[in-house]
Each structure stands twice: as C-alpha cells, then as structure tokens.
Amino acid sequence: MSKRFCLGSNVRERLNFYRREGIFLCHEYVTAASAWKMESPYVCKLVRLVGILNLYSNPIKRNNMRTLDFTNEPIYVGIDTHKKSWNVSIMLKEITHKTFTQPPKPDTLSNYLHSNFPGGNYICAYEAGFCGYWIQHDLEQKGIKCIIVNPADVPTKHKEKDNKTDKVDSRKIARALRNNELEPIYVPSRQSLEDRSLSRLRYSIVTDLTRCKNRIKSLLYFYGIDIPEGLDKRSREYFNWLESVELTQATGTSTIKYLLQEYLSLRKIQLDVTRKIRHLSRTDKYTKHVTLLTSIPGIGITTAMIILTEIDTLSRFNNLDKLCCFIGLVPRVNSSGEKEIIGDITRRGNMHLKKCLVESSWIAIRKDVALMMNYKDYCKRMEPNKAIIKITRKLVNRIRFVIKNQKKYQNNKL
C-alpha cells in the first residue's frame, strides 16, 4: 500500500484502518497527539503503541518491524522511592510514556528500560531521603545516569501540593528533569559515606548519653534525693554514689541501677567509637588534613574528622559563600523593591557540621586573640548567640584556608 494517511476528523476510522493493515505511523500521530493534547483516547492508544519507537516519516509494516532503536534519544525517568515499592514515571521529548509501580530494585527498572527503550540515553532522578545513595550507585554501574536532588528544589505546582500522591511526585520529578530544572546534589564515594557514618554514630551515642543522664537526675529530683555538693557528675565518685542510692522499695532501687547500667554501657561504646575514629584519622587519607585542621584553635581530632567526612572534597566549593551555604551559615533574606529584611540563619544546611563548628567556636574565642576581640565587638551590637555565628563563619574561612593552601594556621595565643 503506497497511499499515506494522516489524522483528520474521523480518528476512529483511520485507527481501525491502520490496525487492519498492521501499519505504524510516527510523526503524524505524535504531531496529532500534541495538537489534541493527548485528550483523544484513540490518539493516546496509538501513541502508546508507537511510543515514538522509531522516528520514521514513512509507514512501516508491523511484520517488518523487528527491533526498536532509541539511539541517543533521551529517556527521562522520575522515581518516587519507598521502602516497599517505587513509583516510576517515564517521559520522552514529546510525550509521557507511562507511570507505574515496581518493586524497589534497580535491576527491575534497568531491565524495563533496556527492553522497551533499547539504546536510549537514560537519565533518572529521585529525591534524597532515607534510601541514601545506593540506588544511584547501582544504576550508575548499570550504565544509567542517575542524579539525586533536594526535595525542596523540585518545582511543584499549587495543585500538586493540594493533591500530593506518589504518582504526582514521580511525574513532577520526570517533568523537571526533562525541562532541565533540577540541580543534583553531591554524591560522595562509598568509602566516604561509611567513614561519615562512624562519626555520626558517635554523635548519636553522645545524644543518648545526655538523655540517659537527664533521666537519672530527673528520677533523683522526683524522689527528693539531693546530689552531694562538690560532686562532679562526670567523675567516678558520682557513679559510686549512685550505686549506693537506695529507695524505700526494691523496684525504685532497681530503676536507678538499670539507668546507671545503661549509661555505663553507652559510655563504653562511646569510648570504643572514639578510639576507632582516632585510628581512622591516622590513615593515609586523613592524617595530613587532620594535622592541618588541629592547628586551628577549637578543633581537635574528633572535630577534624567530622569536618573531613562531612565535606569530603573541599574543591567542589568555589568560594567561602558556597561553603557557608552548604553548612547553613547564611541568613534568610526577604527583599522586595526598596524593602529588605534579613532574618536568622537558614535551617537548610548540614546539621551535624553546623552544630560541631558552633561548639568549636565557643572554644576558639578562649584561645585565639583575634577571635576574642571580634566576638566582643559583635556582642556590643547583637546577642551572644548571634555573635558566635559570625565567629563560626570566620572559623570556616580558616578551615578553608589551611586545607586549600596546605599550611598550618599560625595562632596568636592569649
């Protein structure tokens, strides 16, 4: 058959004709689908059948169509990840292929893409969250480009906020990926992630220790038991005294002993983890940078390891402002016309690194003359808690300097 047809008003007749003849058209139906805005079920069905499987302008017999070729054609994949399933949306340049649910396995997605879009240029994206980076690592190993984005950076329409579903989330990720509106976050190596998890474990244990000590003090105050004056709550004498405390009932005495046992167990784990971090700091990867960082007042070995594992690669920050933005040491700004409001520091940033550096700044102002003078000047016009943030920014500048120039910091001690 040599005669060519294109979509007219009677879509049903032409669709049935092509079904009988076993003919696929591509350009005509894709153009028609775009003009119809995918509203006609017949256009949708045919475009789904064709799926722009090949970009031929001439009709082809179904029997002669044996292989599909998407060479160098971009295939955009948005993934909404969950523990038990993934919602996946696949889009091409002109059309949306489909949205479906699959098991949470990269192999399943890889097999689907290679079987339905062979030779395509696959580009996937999903939001950072509980699942970490392992999905990105697995897809990259299978030859599928994958980026991870901050959930707050995905463009979202108002109706998508009011009607939020997993399908909507995956579609908006794929749409933003196709429109080149997504900025990927930095993905550390597997070794850096595992080293980071050790330093974060120590932070969690310290938090649990504080919680356990507060429970013990709360129980003592509840029963009116006064702690002897001059007794350091971190000393061995304090814990010996706790072991000797007895209440009127055996159940109350057992409660104190169990809380004390929990604290001592956590304390032992903390010491073991700290030794492991110190041993890690002496490896070839970290020993040089740890020596440089510990020359700065307020930074010890543990703090230096937190800085190195959280930042990973300092060269990815072009200037100090970008590094401070990553940490979360930049203020909120609301500007409109001649009106400009500068608020507190943003909540966005690396929480672990921000807390660690603020704590180090309180120690640094006691050991560094320049930082102490700056802190006193800031306190004359603002609260101390706001002044210490400015000191933290100066401390970050020194961290960046010693690592970038590979020079120790020269400190003017008090």
Q: What is the reported pLDDT for 414?
A: 47
Structure tokens at 209: 């220790």
Q: What is the rounded end-to-end Cα distance, in angstroms, of the chain?
A: 94
Which fold is adopted by the domain 74-178? Nucleotidyltransferase; domain 5 (3.30.420)
Buried b (16+ CB within 10 A) or exposed e, 28-45: bbbebbeebeeebebbee
Could you give the 3-state DSSP secondary structure of residue 102? strand
Q: What is the DSSP string of 176-245?
A: HHHTT---BPP---HHHHHHHHHHHHHHHHHHHHHHHHHHHHHHHHHTTPPPPTT--TTSHHHHHHHHH-
Structure tokens at 315: 């060269």
Residues 117 and 73: their CA atoms lie apart, in Å, by 9
Q: Which amino acid belongs to residue 332?
A: R
CA dist 116 → 61, 182, 189, 234 (Å): 19, 25, 31, 64
CA dist 401 → 56, 289, 318, 405 (Å): 58, 12, 13, 6
Q: What is the reported pLDDT for 306?
A: 96
Structure tokens at 392: 């933290």
Q: What is the pLDDT along the chain (414 residues), one digit of tens a residue?
A: 444 444 444 555 555 554 444 444 444 444 444 444 444 444 444 444 454 444 333 344 344 445 677 888 999 999 999 999 999 999 998 888 999 999 999 999 999 999 999 989 999 999 999 999 999 999 999 999 999 999 999 999 999 989 999 999 999 999 999 999 999 999 999 999 999 999 999 999 999 999 999 999 999 999 999 888 888 888 888 888 998 998 989 999 999 999 999 999 999 999 999 999 999 999 999 999 999 999 999 999 999 999 999 999 998 999 999 999 999 998 888 888 888 888 888 888 899 999 999 999 999 999 999 999 999 999 999 999 999 999 999 999 999 999 999 999 987 654
At residue 29's C-alpha, the angle toward residues 26 and 32, to 5°, is 145
Residues 262 and 268: their CA atoms lie apart, in Å, by 10
Q: What is the reported pLDDT for 171?
A: 95
Q: Which residue pairs, CB below 8 angstroms and at least 24 apart, start in 106-115? A: 106/135, 106/138, 106/139, 106/142, 107/142, 109/77, 109/79, 109/139, 109/144, 110/139, 110/142, 110/144, 113/75, 113/77, 113/144
Q: Which amino acid belongs to residue 289?
A: H
**The model's pTM:** 0.78
| Phi/psi-derived region of residue 95, left when phi > 0, alpha when psi is between -120 and 50, beta in every other case | beta
Question: Smallest Cα–Cα separation from 85: which of 96, 101, 69, 97?
Answer: 101
Q: What is the reported pLDDT for 7?
A: 43
Q: What is the reported pLDDT for 16?
A: 55
Q: What is the reported pLDDT for 344?
A: 84
Q: What is the reported pLDDT for 40?
A: 46
| Phi/psi-derived region of residue 132, left when phi > 0, alpha when psi is between -120 and 50, beta in every other case | left
Q: What is the reported pLDDT for 374?
A: 94
Residues 171 and 79: their CA atoms lie apart, in Å, by 8
Q: Which amino acid belongs to residue 270?
A: Q
Q: What is the reported pLDDT for 24?
A: 43
The residue behind tokens 């696959």 is 122
Q: What is the reported pLDDT for 67?
A: 67
Q: With contact defined as beta carbons under 8 Å apart, do 389 and 360 qualify? A: no
